[in-house]
Structure 1
Amino acid sequence: MNIVLINPPHTAIGSRVPDDHLPPFGLLALGGPLLDAGHQVRLVDAEFGPMPLAVLVRDALSCQPDCILIGHSGSTSAHPTALRIAQMLKAHAPATIVIYGGVFPTYHWRDILAETDAFDFIVRGEGEATIAALIEALQRRQSLSEVPGIAFRDDLRRPFASQPAKTIANLDEYRVGWELIDHGRYSYWGGKRAVVMQFSRGCPHLCNYCGQRGFWTRWRHRDPRKFAQEIAWLHRQHGVELINLADENPTVSKKAWRAFLDALIAENVPVLIVGSTRADDIVRDADILHLYRKAGVIRWLLGMENTDEQTLQLIRKGGSTSSDREAIRLLRLHGILSMATWVAGFEDEGFRDLWRGFRQLIAYDPDQIQALYVTPHRWTPFFRIARDRKVIQLDARLWDYKHQVLQMTRLKPWMLFFSVKLIELAVQSRPKALARILFHRDPEQRHSMRWYTQMGRRVWFREVWGFLVRDRRLKDGPTLAEFWGAPQDQEEESMTVVRPPRKPAEAAAAISPGA
Structure 2
Amino acid sequence: MKIVLINPPHTAIGSRVPDDHLPPLGLLALGGPLIDAGHEARLVDAEFGPMPLDMVVRNALDDCPDFVLIGHSGSTSAHPTALLIARMIKEREPATIIIYGGVFPTYHWRDILTATEVFDFIVRGEGEATVVALIEALEMHQSPASVAGIAFRDDLHRPFATQPATTISELDAYRVGWELIDIRRYSYWGGKRAVVMQFSRGCPHLCNYCGQRGFWTRWRHRDPVKFAKEIAWLHREHGVELINLADENRTVSKKAWRAFLDAMIAENVPVLIVGSTRADDIVRDADILHLYRKAGIIRWLLGMENTDEQTLQLIRKGGSTSSDREAIRLLRLHGILSMATWVAGFEDEGFRDLWRGFRQLIAYDPDQIQALYVTPHRWTPFFRIARDRKVIQRDARLWDYKHQVLHMTRLKPWMLFFSVKLIELAVQSRPKALARILFHKDPEQRHSMRWYTQMGRRVWFREVWGFLARDRRVQDGPTLAEFWGAPQDAEEESMTVQRPARKLTSSGITISPSP
Q: TM-score range by the shorter chain?
A: over 0.9
Q: Where does residue 197 of structure 1 map in the other structure?
A: 197
Please state how far the C-alpha of 1:345 moved relative to its aligned partner. Answer: 1.3
Task: Give me the whole-angstrom Cα distance separating, in 1, the residues matched to 2:261 and 2:500.
Answer: 24
Residue 164 of structure 2 aligns to a residue whose secondary structure is coil
- Once the two structures are TM-superposed, the CA of residue 504 in structure 1 deviates from its matched residue by 7.1
Aligned residue number for residue 402 of structure 1: 402
Q: Percent identity?
A: 88
Q: CA deviation at 1:4?
A: 0.2
Give the 5 Å matches for 1:35-74: 35-74=35-74
Identify the residue that residue 353 of structure 2 maps to in structure 1.
353
How many angstroms does 1:509 deviate by? 10
Counterpart amino acid of 1:455? M
| 1:173 and 2:173 matched | yes
What is the CA–CA distance in structure 2 between the aligned matches of 1:287 and 1:423, rounded to whole Å?
33
1:216 maps to what in 2? 216
Report the CA distance between 1:212 and its aligned residue: 1.3
Deviations 1:42-84 (A, max 9, x none): 1000000000000110010001000000000000000000000
Distance 1:10 1:213 in 2: 24
Identify the residue that residue 240 of structure 1 maps to in structure 2.
240
TM normalised by structure 1 equals 0.98
Separation in 2, partners of 1:236, 1:302: 30
Q: Hey, what does 2:480 align to over in structure 1?
A: 480
Q: Once the two structures are superposed, what CA deviation does each residue of 1:158-182 show, in whole Å capped at 9, x if it has no partner?
A: 0000000000000000000000000
Residue matched to 2:455: 455
Matched residues in 2 for 1:10 and 1:53: separation? 11
Residue 22 of structure 2: aligned partner:
22
Distance 2:501 2:358 in 1: 48
After TM superposition, give the deviation of residue 510 of structure 1 in Å.
Answer: 9.1
Aligned-partner Cα distance in 1 for 2:120–2:218:
28
How far apart are residue 508 of structure 1 and its match? 9.5
- Counterpart residue number, 1:289: 289
Q: Classify 1:511/1:25 alpha carbon distance in 2 versus 1 (closer, same or farther; 3 Å).
A: closer
| Matching residue's letter, 2:225 | R
SS of alignment partner, residue 94 of structure 1: coil
Structure 1 residue 17: Cα displacement: 0.2
Whether the 8 Å CA contact 2:368–2:428 is kept in 1: the answer is yes
Aligned mates of 2:297, 2:409 — CA distance in 1: 41
1:101 counterpart residue number: 101
- Distance in 2, Cα, partners of 1:475 & 1:345: 17
- Given that 2:503 and 2:510 are in contact with CA atoms closer than 8 Å, whether structure 1 keeps it comes out as no
Q: Which runs of 5+ in 2 are unaligned?
A: none
1:136 partner letter = E
8 Å contact 2:502–2:511 — kept in the other structure?
A: no
- Within-5 A mapping of 1:311-390: 311-390=311-390
Instruction: Report the counterpart of residue 9 of structure 1 in structure 2.
Output: 9
Structure 1 distance, partners of 2:178, 2:351, is 48
Query: Following the alignment from structure 1 to structure 2, what is the Cα–Cα distance between the partners of residues 398 and 392?
Result: 11
Whether the 8 Å CA contact 1:347–1:409 is kept in 2: the answer is no
Matches of 1:164 and 1:454 in 2, distance apart?
A: 45
Residue 193 of structure 2: SS of its match in structure 1?
strand
1:508–1:320 distance in 2 versus 1, CA, 3 Å: farther
* Matching residue's letter, 1:57: V
Q: Match of 2:142?
A: 142
Q: Alignment partner of 1:38: what SS? A: coil
Contact 2:9 2:47 in 1 (8 A): yes
The corresponding residue for 1:272 is 272
Shift of 1:347: 3.4
CA offsets per residue over residues 218-273 of structure 1, 9 Å max, x none? Answer: 00000000000000000001000000000000000000000000011100000000
CA distance 1:383–1:510, change in 2 (3 Å) = farther
2:304 maps to 304
**Offset, 1:188:** 0.2
Q: Which amino acid counterpart does residue 368 of structure 1 have in structure 2?
A: Q
Cα distance in 2 for partners of 1:457, 1:231 equals 32
Aligned to 2:471: 471
Structure 1's unaligned 5+ residue stretches are: none
Instruction: Report the secondary structure of 1:58's partner residue.
Output: helix
Does the CA-based 8 Å contact 1:299-1:337 persist in structure 2?
A: yes
Amino acid across the alignment from 2:332: R
User: Contact 1:380–1:492 at 8 Å: present in 2 too?
Assistant: yes
Residue in structure 2 matched with residue 500 of structure 1 by the alignment: 500
Residues matched between the structures, number: 512
- 2:106/2:124 contact within 8 Å kept: yes
Letter in 1 for 2:456: G
Q: Which amino acid aligns with 1:69?
A: L
The separation in 2 between residues aligned to 1:431 and 1:504, in whole angstroms, is: 65
Q: 1:249 aligns to what?
A: 249
2:121 paired with 1:121? yes
> For the Cα contact (< 8 Å) 2:503–2:511, is it kept in 1?
no
Q: Is the 8 A contact 2:504 2:511 kept in 1?
A: no
Normalising by structure 2, what TM-score? 0.98
CA distance in 2, matches of 1:125, 1:145: 16
Indicate the SS of the match to 1:414: helix
Quick check: 2:311–2:347 contact (8 Å CA) kept in 1?
A: no
What SS class does the counterpart of residue 312 from structure 1 fall into?
A: helix
Q: Residue 491 of structure 2 corresponds to which residue in structure 1? A: 491
Give the Cα–Cα distance (whole angstroms) in 1 for the partners of residues 67 and 249 of structure 2: 34
What SS is found at the alignment partner of 1:11? coil
The answer to whether 1:422 aligns with 2:398 is no
Kept in 2: contact 1:347–1:407 (CA 8 A): no
Counterpart residue identity of residue 92, structure 1? R
| 3-state DSSP of counterpart to 2:342 | strand
Opposite residue 468 of structure 1, the aligned amino acid is: L
CA deviation digits over 1:301-355, x for unaligned, max 9? Answer: 0000000000000000000000000000000000000000000012321111100
Whether the 8 Å CA contact 2:338–2:366 is kept in 1: the answer is: yes
Residue aligned with 2:322, SS? helix
Deviation at 1:499, TM superposition (A): 2.6
